[in-house]
Amino acid sequence: MTDSPLLISKKDAICVITVNRPEKLNALNAATLDALDAAFVDAEQDAHIRVIILTGAGPKAFVAGADISEMNTLSAAEGRDFSLRGTRMMRSVERLSKPVIAMVNGFALGGGLELAMCCHMRIASENAKVGQPEINLGLIPGFGGTQRLLRLAGRAAALELCLTGAPITADRALQLGIVNRVVAAEALEAATFELATQFAHASPLALRGMLDCLNVGGECGIEEGLEYESAQFGLMFSTEDMREGTTAFLEKRPAVFKGR
């Protein structure tokens, strides 16, 4: 559709989803949240896709936040529904069986940082800035910002970002563990696609098993997490990919994984 808030491209095993509202700094409104939900479902179900890149259109912003003009008129019930809409979409991204890489090309503020944090990895341009500025609007984060910041960066950093509302640099975000890598602006796309290509050539079944283990382990006790990991490890022995990977290692050749 020509009026879609997203641009979607697929090449080889990589799907690129771009939030395409540059005139609004790619702000998230209800229609964009719904479009993102549908796009991730489509990529998840596409057997040819092994990795997903998420980014924003234009040179200024990944996603600068939620659409304030839309939120300004919401009632309390509508505000809760809007929060749940975004939270459910981002939770589904977090639980995808395929790696999702956020290519943070500029501002990732409020809902934009929350969207980046639900991805499995985040590569940021050196000129990117991230933050949770909701306090300046008389609001709190509504798409999981308080919870994911706690888990990624710890209590002190989460309190700092949420209570002050001040954005931080990409380098500071790297120090806090909010992003995985920081690269020069001109190298961002190449660095992101290099990582995506690495994932695309890995065993999709092993990737899924690791994502499952990390999701489960982050929400349960150590004993349950270890038990789940052992079960997933054993399951790998039933796959052609495991036989191919170990055989290729012994034969000193690159493995060719087929997801079986």
What's the residue count for the chain? 260
The confidence score (pLDDT) of residue 2 equals 54
For domain 203-250, give its CATH number from 1.20.120.1200, 1.10.12.10, 3.40.718.10, 3.10.129.10.
1.10.12.10
Separation between Cα atoms, residue 114 and residue 132, nearest integer Å: 8
SS3 content of the chain, % helix, strand, coil (to 5): 55, 15, 30
CB 203 within 8 A of CB 241: yes
Model confidence at 1, pLDDT cuts 50, 70, 90, reads: very low
Q: Which two tokens stand for residue 32?
A: 């964009």
Residue with tokens 């382990």: 217
Calculate the CA 130 to chain-centre distance: 14
Nearest to 205 by CA among 229, 231, 239: 239
Calculate the CA 83 to chain-centre distance: 18
CB atoms within 10 A of CB 11: 9
Give the predicted TM-score (pTM) of the model.
0.93
Average pLDDT (106-132) is: 97
pLDDT of residue 225 exceeding 60: yes
Torsion region of 46: left, alpha or beta (phi above 0 gives left; psi -120 to 50 gives alpha): beta
pLDDT of residue 19 exceeding 70: yes
CB 50 within 8 A of CB 82: no
What CATH number was assigned to the domain covering residues 6-200? 3.90.226.10
Q: Where are the alpha helices (DSSP H) in the chain?
A: 30-45, 68-71, 76-94, 111-118, 145-153, 155-164, 170-176, 188-201, 204-217, 222-236, 240-250
Average pLDDT (2-11) is: 89
Catalytic residues: 114, 134
Domain range annotation of the chain:
6-200, 203-250
- Residues of the chain above pLDDT 70, percent: 99
In the three-class reduction of DSSP (H, G, I as helix; E, B as strand; rest coil), residue 259 is classed as coil
The confidence score (pLDDT) of residue 59 equals 86
